[in-house]
């Protein structure tokens, strides 16, 4: 299984801080489509993605046990 984390407005939209999905073997892009459909989350295309706390690209393949975080454009500072 894979833990999926939502932050800021994505969490508000998804209605969850985190969910468990079996995403092993999918690319980040494929997971974004699945999550958009399943949880009604928009704007994933303008979000960054982190796998295990490191930024990753849309074509990266997710492995069993990876934690995936969707990261909207940041606004710290």
Rounded least distance, CB 19 to other proteins, Å: 15
Stretch that binds other proteins, among 18-26, 33-41, 52-60 (CB under 8 A): 52-60
Of the candidates 2, 14, 49, 66, which one interacts with other proteins according to CB under 8 A?
49
How far the first Cα of the chain sits from its last, in Å, is: 34
Tabulate helix, strand, coil % of the chain (nearest 5).
Answer: 30, 30, 40
Nearest of 44, 75, 46, 73 to residue 4 by alpha carbon: 44
Of the candidates 28, 35, 41, 62, which one interacts with other proteins according to CB under 8 A?
28
Of the candidates 29, 34, 36, 61, which one interacts with other proteins according to CB under 8 A?
29
Query: What are the backbone angles phi and psi of residue 16, rounded to the nearest 5°?
Result: -140, 150
Which residues of this protein are in contact with other proteins, per CB under 8 A?
Answer: 5, 7-9, 12, 28-29, 43, 45-50, 53-58, 60, 69, 71-77
């Amino acid at each position: 299984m894979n833990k999926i984390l939502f932050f800021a407005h994505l969490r508000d939209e998804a209605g969850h801080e985190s969910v468990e999905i079996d995403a092993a073997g999918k690319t980040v892009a494929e997971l974004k489509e699945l999550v958009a459909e399943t949880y009604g989350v928009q704007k994933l295309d303008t979000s960054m993605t982190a796998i295990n706390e490191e930024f990753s690209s849309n074509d990266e393949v997710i492995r069993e046990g990876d934690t995936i975080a969707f990261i909207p454009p940041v606004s710290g500072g």
